[in-house]
Amino acid sequence: MTNPLNALNAETLNAWNANAEVWDKRMGDDGNDFFNILCWPALASFLDAQPDSKILDIACGNGLTTRRLAELGCTVTAFDFSANLIEYAKQRTAFHASLITYHILDATNEEQLLSLGEAKFDSALSNMALFDMAEIEPLFRTLPKLLKPGGTFVFSITHPCFNNASSMHVVEEMDDGEIKTVYSIKTSRYMTPYSMRGLALRNQPKPQVYFERPLQAYLNLAFQNGFVLDGFEERAFPPETPQTTPLGWGGKFSEIPAVIVARLRLKT
């Protein structure tokens, strides 16, 4: 019997190749507000990368985090399964090329992951990509082999409770002696993993597939594979952050975290 996830994985690859140009233009060299305000400060603090650290950048896109890590002096092995995105990553990497190696590789394929080398990395990083992967079990099974003993896996994901593909952004008006505008998130799906098409960027040519999982799916997989959780942040935009669209993520949703950043560490 064919695994339905294979077809979804192929569709995902196809979408990321088709959207690579738009993604590269939007993220550029410096990234967007999600990256700079929500993700990078917590990722950088959890990674605590030292010059000469060896880091694996999983699903690196156009190499945004890869270059940030190389700027800190780390040696970075980065991969993505989109050949088009890896091409953009290489084009943007002239400056730190000596510290970075890029590979085209599928994170759902254990054999391909193992080809990166065993007990080689001090840390692995995945910025906003696990929910784009049709399957994460192969990655969680393989990471303990790729990491050195005691190594860490730091990842960011959209908050599974408040920022999943079923989330609706809601604005309402109330009167409690004064008229107030209230922004909230309404969610209808959480417990059962599901996939749904969506747009990471409003002008992308092809919708991509989101693979939504409850938080316990990530954490239990990590615990089963020998990790403990030793860093965790829920990240919301500060109130002063401008809205890029009237109901998009921004300062109006400052009480609702759009992103989770976590650090897992291999038990020694």
Phi-psi region for residue 217, left (φ > 0), alpha (ψ -120 to 50) or beta? alpha
Residue count, binding to ligand SAM (CB under 6 A): 21
Q: Is 152 in the site for ligand SAM (CB under 6 A)?
A: no
Residues 186-205 interacting with ligand SAM (rule: CB under 6 A): 200
**Which string of x and - marks every residue 20-49 that binds ligand SAM (by CB under 6 A)?**
-------x----------------------
Q: Which is nearer to ligand SAM, 80 or 122 (CB)?
A: 80
Q: How many alpha carbons fall within 13 Å on the CB side of residue 217?
A: 18
Q: Which is nearer to ligand SAM, 20 or 264 (CB)?
A: 20
Q: Which is nearer to ligand SAM, 19 or 183 (CB)?
A: 19
Q: Is 74 in the site for ligand SAM (CB under 6 A)?
A: no
Residues 84-143 interacting with ligand SAM (rule: CB under 6 A): 85, 106-108, 127-129, 132-133
Shortest reach from residue 64's CB to ligand SAM, in Å: 4
Shortest reach from residue 173's CB to ligand SAM, in Å: 34
Q: Is 261 in the site for ligand SAM (CB under 6 A)?
A: no
Residues 53-72 interacting with ligand SAM (rule: CB under 6 A): 59-61, 64-65
DSSP string covering the chain, please? ---HHHHHHHHHHHHHHHHHHHHHHHHTTT--HIIIIIIHHHHHHHH---TT-EEEEES-TTTHHHHHHHHTT-EEEEEES-HHHHHHHHHT-STTGGGEEEEE--TT-HHHHHTT-TT-EEEEEEES-GGG-S--HHHHHHHHHHEEEEEEEEEEEE-TTTSSTT-EEEEEEEESSSEEEEEEEE----SS-EEEEE-SSTT-SS-EEEEE--HHHHHHHHHHTTEEEEEEEEE---TTSPPSSTTSSSGGGTTS--EEEEEEEE--
Q: Which is nearer to ligand SAM, 210 or 227 (CB)?
A: 210
Q: Which is nearer to ligand SAM, 124 or 252 (CB)?
A: 124
Stretch that binds ligand SAM, among 81-89, 91-99, 173-181, 253-261 (CB under 6 A): 81-89
Beta strands at 75-80 and 54-58: parallel, antiparallel or unpaired = parallel
Q: Which is nearer to ligand SAM, 107 or 147 (CB)?
A: 107
The residue from 34, 40, 81, 88 that contacts ligand SAM (CB under 6 A) is 81
Residues in contact with ligand SAM by CB under 6 A are 12, 16, 27, 59-61, 64-65, 80-82, 85, 106-108, 127-129, 132-133, 200
